[in-house]
Structure 1
Amino acid sequence: MPYVYPIPHLLPPELVREINNRIAGSPETWVDGGKTAGRDKKKKRNLELEGDSELRVLISDAITTVLRDYQRRESLLFTFLAAPSKIGKFLVSKTENGGGYGDHMDNNIMSKGTTEELRSDLSMTIFLSDPESYEGGELVIDSDMTFAPSFKMPAGGAILYATNSIHRVNPVTSGSRVVALTWIESEISDPFMRQMNADLLQCLNAVSQNADQNPQLSTFLTLKLEKIRGNLQKRTR
């Protein structure tokens, strides 16, 4: 399926543990998630940390810091796939027994009219709960299709997907599903071009990692791939 990218270990285990421990030990009040759903609020049955709460800001900042750590393979992959120019602040949501979110599509512009406004090219859900700790709660993407794929990632795993996809969260039938969500404005608005850019970056990375085996070939391929990518970028601006 195009423009759906699972990243199994986007967050390191130690950060996932720290986030979950802070959530479990925090007196923060969870509020009705329908407040951030706009016209789809009747479809949304979950809880969220208050937008300006200290814990929500702390979690958002910690995740964003990891995403910008290009020494990590998973963070580099995220950057290749998304080519982010803006990453929105993360929401933290909790869905318990009976909760879920019916078929919907995220807004094309997030935080409209504020200093944090961005064009939402990509949506991202990072799973924070152990998948065995709750039943249901699968993220279903392109849910207007008869055979839509569903995802339930390990804790720390993420799904990056095109914001224009209709999607839903299946009802949770037991346990508690906690996730962090955000939206990304890409440097490359065209999804086809963005995919090509991601493919080229992954090829360049693979070539550079194996340069010692054949330096001459590596140099040739790197120059050619950089030329293709440079010309591609010019067509997207």
Structure 2
Amino acid sequence: MIFAIPEVLTSDELKLLQTRLADAEFIDGKLTAGWHAKLVKNNQQVKSGTSEFQEFKSVVEKALQRNPLFQAAVRPRYVHSLLFTRYNTGMSYGRHTDNALMGQALRRSDVSFTLFLNSPGEYEGGELVIESADDEKAYKLPAGFAIAYPASTLHRVEPVTTGNRLVAVGWVQSLIRDPGDREILFDLDTARRAMFAKEGKSPEFDLISKSIANLLRKWAE
């Protein structure tokens, strides 16, 4: 399931990140790529372990924690391996798939997400292209919006032809490992909330709530 999440960041959070990232220390993005991804990765990222990186990380994590769509669709157990990435003119990230396990704790990467930090009008190119079995689709969202997608997909970032592309990227180990199971829970929860908005706490609402709870007991890790 691929889905866009509008307005993950408030205008104040977005302005803070844009201002602080302008003066941040960036290093070669190849330093965090797998051995094969290094061959196609050409970008820069904020040096981790610094106080400013921790500040940026905290802003994004808090925004994701309070976002109901992200929480309902992804069911995060851990949000991990955050990177703040810049693509200058001529930079790109060729076709690749994300590592299944990441970091010293070897967190599973079930879901990948890209949080756009500057306006698409500030650069040309730089689309995130996600492949499916018989098609592919390009994404270039407004600042503060995010796109979440299965980490198992092949994807790439097209070359930036003018300007600079600024994003935060990260990964999620979900409570629900299987993407099909996550989609079932998301659909049921969406229907339940719509039913509650129209009819309140009806007997049908209670049955759907029971099913969601029991599926979570069955599938959650």
Shared fold (TM-score, shorter chain, > 0.5): yes
1:219 — aligned with what? 202
1:80 — aligned with what? 72
2:128 — aligned with what? 139
1:72 — aligned with what? none
Q: CA RMSD in A?
A: 1.5
**Residue aligned with 2:63, SS:** helix
2:117 — aligned with what? 128
Amino acid of the structure 2 residue aligned with 1:204: R
1:7 — aligned with what? 5
2:85 — aligned with what? 93
Q: What aligned pairs does 1:75-224 form with structure 2 within 5 A after superposition?
A: 75-111=67-103, 114-115=104-105, 117-142=106-131, 147-210=135-198, 214-215=199-200, 218-224=201-207
Amino acid of the structure 2 residue aligned with 1:37: A
Q: Where does the alignment leave 5 or more consecutive residues of structure 1 unmatched?
A: 70-74
Question: Could you report, residue by residue, the CA deviation over 1:21-72 in whole angstroms, capped at 9, with x for unpaired residues?
Answer: 1112x2x321100111121112011000011122221111111112222xxx
Question: Could you report, residue by residue, the CA deviation over 1:125-171 in whole angstroms, capped at 9, with x for unpaired residues?
Answer: 0000110000000000017x563100000001111000000000000
Do 1:121 and 1:183's aligned partners in 2 also have CA atoms closer than 8 Å?
yes
Aligned partner of 2:60 among 59, 63, 76: 63
Do 2:81 and 2:102's aligned partners in 1 also have CA atoms closer than 8 Å?
no
Q: C-alpha separation between the residues in 2 aligned to 1:101 and 1:146?
A: 21
Q: C-alpha separation between the residues in 1 aligned to 2:117 and 2:28?
A: 19
Q: C-alpha separation between the residues in 2 aligned to 1:146 and 1:236?
A: 29
**Residue aligned with 2:142, SS:** coil
% identical aligned pairs = 32
Amino acid of the structure 2 residue aligned with 1:175: G
Do 1:60 and 1:89's aligned partners in 2 also have CA atoms closer than 8 Å?
no
Q: Where does the alignment leave 5 or more consecutive residues of structure 2 unmatched?
A: none
**Residue aligned with 2:152, SS:** coil
Q: Which moved more, 1:174-183 or 1:82-91?
A: 82-91
2:211 — aligned with what? 228
What count of residue pairs does the alignment treat as equivalent?
A: 219
Amino acid of the structure 2 residue aligned with 1:191: P
Question: Could you report, residue by residue, the CA deviation over 1:156-188 in whole angstroms, capped at 9, with x for unpaired residues?
Answer: 111100000000000000100000011000000
1:89 deviation in Å? 4.2
